Amino acid sequence: AGEEGQWQRIYIKIKGEEGRNSERERARSWLRSETVTFR
């Protein structure tokens, strides 16, 4: 049971990292499209 909880924490941590990365990518692509529009 203890091992299972540990894996859940690791999984949640990995998902959190992926979430932050996708947010960063979304912001970057949004900024790119914004600069293209301003030109």
pLDDT at 12: 87
pLDDT at 38: 60
DSSP code at position 1:
-
pLDDT per position as a tens digit, 1-39: 578 889 899 888 888 888 888 888 988 888 888 777 665
pLDDT at 23: 87
pLDDT at 32: 85
Buried b (16+ CB within 10 A) or exposed e, 8-19: eeeeeeeeeeee
DSSP code at position 34:
H
Its pTM surpasses 0.85: no
For residue 18, give Cα distances in angstroms to 2, 33, 35: 25, 22, 26
* 1: CB partners within 8 A, 6+ apart: none
